[in-house]
Amino acid sequence: MEAGNAARKRKRRRRGTGASGEAAQQHRQSNEVSAIAAQAVRVDGESVPSRRNRRKHRGKRGLQGRPLVHEKPVGRPAQPQQATPGSDTAESRIGQNENRAPRQAENGYRNNGEHPWPDELYAALDLGTNNCRLLIAQPTRPGQFRVVDAFSRIVRLGEGLAASGRLSDDAMDRAVDALRVCASKLKSREIRRMRLIATEACRQATNGAQFLERVVAETGLELEIIDRETEARLAVSGCSSLVGRETRSVVLFDIGGGSSEIAVIRIGDSRFNRLANHITHWTSLPVGVVTLSERHGGRDVTPDVFEGMVVEVEGMLERFDCPAIDIGHAGDFHLIGTSGTVTTLAGVHLDLPRYDRRKVDGIWLSDDEVSAMQAKLLSWDFASRAANPCIGPDRADLVLAGCAILEAIRRRWPSPRMRVADRGLREGLLTDMMADDGVWRRHRNRRGQRGK
CA dist 402 and 399 (Å) reads 5
Q: List the domains of the chain with CATH numbers.
A: 121-226 (3.30.420.40), 229-431 (3.30.420.150)
Q: Give the predicted TM-score (pTM) of the model.
A: 0.69
Q: Are 103 and 116 in contact (CB under 8 A)?
A: yes
Collapsing DSSP to helix, strand or coil, 12 comes out as: helix
Q: Are 161 and 167 in contact (CB under 8 A)?
A: yes
List the pLDDT tens digit at each of the 452 positions of the chain. Answer: 555 666 665 655 555 444 444 444 444 444 433 333 333 323 233 333 343 443 333 333 332 333 323 333 333 333 333 333 333 333 333 444 333 333 333 222 233 433 344 568 999 999 999 999 999 999 988 878 999 999 999 999 999 998 999 999 999 999 999 999 999 999 999 999 999 999 999 999 999 999 999 999 999 999 999 999 999 999 998 898 888 878 889 999 999 999 999 999 998 777 777 888 899 999 999 999 999 999 999 999 999 999 999 999 999 999 999 988 876 555 688 999 998 899 999 999 999 999 999 999 999 999 999 999 999 999 999 999 999 999 999 999 999 999 999 999 999 999 999 999 998 899 999 999 998 888 887 655 555 544 44
Residues 6 or more apart whose Cβ sits within 8 Å of residue 101: 90, 190, 191, 192, 194
CA dist 140 and 190 (Å) reads 17
- Amino acid identity at 122: Y
CA dist 265 and 334 (Å) reads 10
CA dist 287 and 409 (Å) reads 13
Q: Are 151 and 134 in contact (CB under 8 A)?
A: yes
Q: Are strands 191-198 and 224-225 parallel, antiparallel or unpaired?
A: parallel
